[in-house]
A and B are shown apart, each in its own frame.
Chain A
Amino acid sequence: MIECKNIAKIYKNREIETRALKSASFIINDGEFVAIMGPSGSGKSTLMHIIGCLDTPTSGQYLFDNKDTSKLSDDELADIRMQKIGFVFQSFNLLPRATVLRNVTLPLVYAGVSKEKRENIAKQALLCSAFPEKFWKHYSNQLSGGMAQRVAIARALVNNPMLILADEPTGNLDTKTGEMVLDTFQRLHQEQGRTIVLITHEQYVAEHAERIIHIRDGNIVEDGKVMNRRVINNFNHNATK
């Protein structure tokens, strides 16, 4: 469970203070699929960094799994990221000169999982993200955007995290491959009950979630269920096989 209590974040650059977040409060329960939506400069990236334990708030309280992150050291935050959070980035951030399998096993290397176990877990994760088996030994820079993002999703899943945090996951993809990725998220949510937080600036993308938190100028302006949820139930995710 994630709980934000009056979170504010102020960046100080010499004399200029930037109030990226003013006062944000909300709760995300386990098993929810939430989209955080706002235009650029609204503070959604800052919020994502705080939710993802990459940063801590200037004031207010952020409770991740009932732990106040502002009291944790860098290494303790790194431990939380390793064990409980899976990141999916807009620009994939895969290791370019490494195979798909090595990319997916990378978090397990830092978790200290033995080499034999790693591959099995990674293969499971790749199956979950519907990544075709014939590309497993390919280098990640040979993959198309949609394929690369599925590798990234598999990498996010590999530690069996409490939360999947996706930062504009469809930003670099065309509509069709974007839908494939969103379908993957919906399935993970539906079939495995994963908690997913999706950061986006597109209404269309946000409508794939169950709930949307609107953020503008560092404040939460709207928080509610999606009325006409887009569900890609019949999308054939094996089309590329």
Chain B
Amino acid sequence: MKIQDIFQETCIAFLSNKARSGLTILGIVIGISSVIAMVSIGQGASGQIQSSIEGLGSNLLTVSPGFSQQGSGFVSQGRGSAQTLKNDDVDTLLQVVGVAFVSPERQGRYQIISPIGSNTNSTVIGVSPEYAQVRNVSVANGSFITESNVRSIGRVVVLGPTVAADLFEDQDPVGKTIRINKLNFKVIGVLQPKGSAGFFNPDDTIFVPLTTMQKILAGGDYLSSIAISVETKDLMPQVQQEATIALANKHLIDPQSPDFSIVSQADIVGAATQVTDTFTILLAAIAGISLIVGGIGIMNMMLTTVTERTREIGLRKSIGAKKRDISIQFLTEAVMLTFFGGTVGIVLGWIISMLVTRFTGIATQISVQAIVLAFGVSAVIGIIFGYYPARRAAGLNPIEALRYE
């Protein structure tokens, strides 16, 4: 039997049972489209979280000071409050192989007043020029903190877009003077918006030279954190380990119990995507159940068809159809049903996920893998659920099949 003949037989079989074939296909369409839509919602969520975390800087390691207890009786300020990270730790970290940039940071929170009278309370970070590379920030207008600003303890400031909007509304802040903690600072730049990364909004910060922060605004030559940018992703675990040893040696303490901690961005991304992956699997599993129900629908229809066409099968066998011819014919019918259902389901799933994005704002992401997977699954379902009815048809005894009423 030739392939085009099999297809022709299949089409005739579908057309002679339009309603039943249509409803069976609908079962598969619902299954496939819900798998596609659910997976796209899950992947969209995980993609969004991942990109917003990676937006904070790529291949990033963050060194934070550890727990400090000056002695019993003193009130501890908790983890991260210790003053153990110093400016010269940066030089130590730069020695470690694989480190691209090191950005020392000193953070504080101050009241800021603009010349037009509005004021805000925001995070002020003392930074070196490396901050821009390490934290992946870019300037929309003006320039970032430069090396000479740092060397000259310059009273200059770069505003995050949220702060700029709060202080100046729609005016251009570059060149204007603002007051931080009652001291005058000249605005030299405004950053590009980055979007919030959960609890921390990088747009709601302003930047001053590190030296200015340490000597004028806050006092004390310690750092609140050091950000390290690693050359490649593969080097991150190695650099994390070596940086721990180098810093511990510098601080003259045991690397097993350091007075600082180094957190890799990969850990944060990993923890976040683990949550969304679980979420995706849960959604896909629920959708997968409807796909199985659709498959059972196919099997049900095929079994009905085989019973209904018993005499026809008997006739076909008596005029020379072999077992293989009969089983291929019925298997093709089942696979074609799922194939149609799969194709329509993918399109429908795509439309559903676009509608979800459009009306709820939830990010969705259709991946090629999801489509290939859905297609493969629908084909496999057709074969699995079509195999038993096809075998039953092929195994019919022609004499009994011809007598069947």
Q: A and B bound?
A: yes
By a beta-carbon cutoff of 8 Å, the part of chain A in contact with chain B is 49, 52, 54-55, 74-75, 78-79, 81-83, 87, 89, 93, 95, 97-98, 106-107, 109-112, 115, 155, 159
A-B contact pairs, 18 of them (CB 8 A): A55-B399, A74-B323, A75-B324, A78-B317, A81-B318, A81-B319, A83-B320, A87-B318, A93-B311, A93-B312, A93-B314, A93-B315, A106-B316, A107-B320, A109-B1, A109-B2, A155-B319, A159-B320
Measured between beta carbons, the chain A residues less than 8 angstroms from B319 are 81-82, 87, 106-107, 110, 155
A112 in complex: contacting residue of B1, B16, B324, CB < 8 Å: B1
Contact-residue size bin, chain B (C-beta under 8 Å from the other chain): 20 to 34
B10 to chain A, nearest CB (A): 13
Measured between beta carbons, the chain B residues less than 8 angstroms from A75 are 322-324
B320 in complex: contacting residue of A49, A79, A95, A115, CB < 8 Å: A79
A172 to B403, CA, bound (A): 15
A83 to B319, CA, bound (A): 9
A81 in complex: contacting residue of B4, B12, B320, CB < 8 Å: B320
Measured between beta carbons, the chain B residues less than 8 angstroms from A55 are 399
Measured between beta carbons, the chain A residues less than 8 angstroms from B324 are 75
A82 in complex: contacting residue of B311, B315, B320, B323, CB < 8 Å: B320
A195 to B322, CA, bound (A): 25
A117 to chain B, nearest CB (A): 12
Measured between beta carbons, the chain A residues less than 8 angstroms from B5 are 109
A156 to chain B, nearest CB (A): 8
By a beta-carbon cutoff of 8 Å, the part of chain B in contact with chain A is 1-2, 4-5, 12, 16, 311-312, 314-325, 398-399, 402
Whether B398 contacts A54 by the Cβ 8 Å rule is yes
A79 to B5, CA, bound (A): 18
Whether B2 contacts A112 by the Cβ 8 Å rule is yes
Knowing A54-B398, A54-B399 are in contact, say whether A97-B12 is a contact too (CB < 8 A): yes
Question: In the complex, which residue of chain A has the Cβ closest to the Cβ of B4?
Answer: A115
4 closest A-B pairs by beta carbon, nearest first, are A82-B320, A107-B319, A93-B315, A97-B16
A93 in complex: contacting residue of B320, B323, B325, B402, CB < 8 Å: B402
Knowing A109-B1, A110-B1 are in contact, say whether A98-B12 is a contact too (CB < 8 A): yes
A167 to B343, CA, bound (A): 47
Among B5, B319, B323, B325: residue with most chain A CB under 10 A = B319
Measured between beta carbons, the chain A residues less than 8 angstroms from B312 are 93, 95
Interface of B is mostly: helix
A86 to chain B, nearest CB (A): 8
Question: In the complex, which residue of chain A has the Cβ closest to the Cβ of B318?
Answer: A87
A9 to chain B, nearest CB (A): 12
Question: In the complex, which residue of chain A has the Cβ closest to the Cβ of B311?
Answer: A93
Given contacts A83-B320, A98-B12, A110-B321, 8 further A-B contacts (CB under 8 A): A75-B323, A82-B319, A93-B315, A93-B402, A109-B2, A110-B1, A110-B316, A159-B320
A98 to B2, CA, bound (A): 19
Measured between beta carbons, the chain A residues less than 8 angstroms from B398 are 54
B399 in complex: contacting residue of A49, A78, A95, CB < 8 Å: A49
A193 to B4, CA, bound (A): 35
A129 to chain B, nearest CB (A): 16
Whether A111 contacts B320 by the Cβ 8 Å rule is yes
A41 to B316, CA, bound (A): 26
A93 to B325, CA, bound (A): 19
A82 to B398, CA, bound (A): 14
A54 to B403, CA, bound (A): 13
A95 to B398, CA, bound (A): 16
Measured between beta carbons, the chain A residues less than 8 angstroms from B4 are 115
Measured between beta carbons, the chain B residues less than 8 angstroms from A89 are 315, 402
B325 in complex: contacting residue of A87, A97, A110, CB < 8 Å: A110
Measured between beta carbons, the chain B residues less than 8 angstroms from A83 are 320
Whether A52 contacts B318 by the Cβ 8 Å rule is yes
Measured between beta carbons, the chain B residues less than 8 angstroms from A54 are 318, 398-399
B113 to chain A, nearest CB (A): 86
Among B315, B320, B325, B398: residue with most chain A CB under 10 A = B320
Measured between beta carbons, the chain B residues less than 8 angstroms from A111 are 320
A111 to B12, CA, bound (A): 20
Measured between beta carbons, the chain A residues less than 8 angstroms from B316 are 106, 110
Whether A78 contacts B1 by the Cβ 8 Å rule is no
B332 to chain A, nearest CB (A): 14
Knowing A54-B398, A93-B402 are in contact, say whether A78-B320 is a contact too (CB < 8 A): yes
A238 to chain B, nearest CB (A): 28
A21 to chain B, nearest CB (A): 14
